[in-house]
Amino acid sequence: MASANPLPDSLRESPFLKACRREPTDVTPIWLMRQAGRYMPEYREVRSKVSFLELCKDPALATEVTVTAAERLGVDAAILFADILLILEPLGFDLEFAKGEGPVIHNPIREAKDVDRVRRLAEVEPLGYVMRAVSAIRSALRPSTPLIGFAGAPFTLACYAIEGGGSRHYEKAKSFMYRDQGAWDALMSILVDATALYLNAQAAAGAQVLQLFDSWVGTLGPDDYRRYVQPHMKRLFDKLDPNTPSIHFGTDTSTLLELQRDAGGDVIGLDWRVDLGDGWDRLGPSVAVQGNLDPAVLFAPFPEVERRARCILDRAAGRPGHIFNLGHGIMPHTPVDHVLRLVELVHEYSRTGRPERP
């Protein structure tokens, strides 16, 4: 297992990393999922010259958009610019980001025998461009700004691999899962091993925190999560570098929070469908939490944005271990000014106005 180098104090004592460790901070740290994205003119300028996949695979351009977003917004952490599906290519999947359609996998898994053609990721060199981007971003960031590496969680990756792209009902993935648990477990095992190797390599290259995006796991009920996902997630978290904090994020997971906590992760991401205070009470004091403003609120008049953000901070009530974020990624047409003002508000209010928990 890779082991992260000792951190300089400027990073170790950053509000974001202290919150990951559930230590008190003078200010609530904030970063935003998809903070480098189409809502920013600087990103659109870069993106106008290359395809999405080309941007992901060019370490210099990935560094530019990552660092520009973190510095422009004044957030407390940067997140690597990449995509959760990049890992599927070296596993043998034919991946395309089709204009207007999103990701498309041209050779999806549909039968149990198809799992036999999925390659195992023996080493990370096929994804070396990601590690080169991580290293370049770490060098370009301010010394006190942590860098988040990430990957897609195995369930979400498996759904893409079986559905062949986006889905509303996940009927192909679920029917595959229900029909042949042996084939499902074999696929998940391959994805766990590949994801652990990939994430540990990101940590070794210079990422201080690792986030797993289980974007589609909310389609499952608790019994299915417990049977088909939780054992694999436990094994994945057990394989990650213990010196690198991890964030376990999913959407529409209000019925799964305790199961996610037990699966692993130092920080549990909460989406906007759950009250942050209630969710944290359910999770208990052993984990930090991240979240959870509805991304759509950023389109509201700013006084409403402010009211909602203050409400979330009030519900956190000054407990050590809160990382402010959206409940999912920033939407493409979000007003940049609202994002900038949100970051300032969270910093200012958490310094001076948040109530302490009794």
| Catalytically annotated residue among 12, 21, 38, 226 | 38
The neighbour count for residue 276, using CB atoms within 10 Å, is 24
- For residues 27 and 53, what is the distance between their CA atoms, to the nearest angstrom? 36
Q: Taking the model in full, what pTM does it have?
A: 0.95
Q: Is 117 marked active-site?
A: no
Each residue's pLDDT tens digit, 134-163: 999 999 999 999 999 999 999 999 999 999
pLDDT score for 353: 67
Local confidence band at 181 (pLDDT 50, 70, 90 cut-offs): very high
The neighbour count for residue 92, using CB atoms within 10 Å, is 12
Local confidence band at 358 (pLDDT 50, 70, 90 cut-offs): very low
| Catalytically annotated residue among 39, 43, 58, 160 | 160
Each residue's pLDDT tens digit, 311-350: 999 999 999 999 999 999 999 999 999 999 999 999 999 9
259 pLDDT more than 70: yes
pLDDT score for 102: 85
Local confidence band at 3 (pLDDT 50, 70, 90 cut-offs): very low
Q: Is 179 marked active-site?
A: no
| Catalytically annotated residue among 22, 39, 43, 47 | 47
Each residue's pLDDT tens digit, 105-145: 999 999 999 999 999 999 999 999 999 999 999 999 999 99
Q: Indicate the class that CATH gives domain 9-352.
A: alpha beta
296 pLDDT more than 80: yes
1 pLDDT more than 60: no
pLDDT score for 4: 47
pLDDT score for 5: 60
- For residues 143 and 155, what is the distance between their CA atoms, to the nearest angstrom? 35
- For residues 7 and 16, what is the distance between their CA atoms, to the nearest angstrom? 14
Contacts of 222 (CB under 8 A, 6+ apart): 255, 256, 259
Q: Is 160 marked active-site?
A: yes
Q: How far is CA 32 from CA 204, 269, 292, 353, in A?
A: 23, 12, 10, 22
Each residue's pLDDT tens digit, 209-250: 999 999 999 999 999 999 999 999 999 999 999 999 999 999
355 pLDDT more than 90: no
Q: Is 72 marked active-site?
A: no
Token pair for 121: 């990721």
| Catalytically annotated residue among 34, 138, 315, 354 | 34
- For residues 293 and 280, what is the distance between their CA atoms, to the nearest angstrom? 15
| Catalytically annotated residue among 58, 83, 241, 271 | 83
Q: Is 83 marked active-site?
A: yes
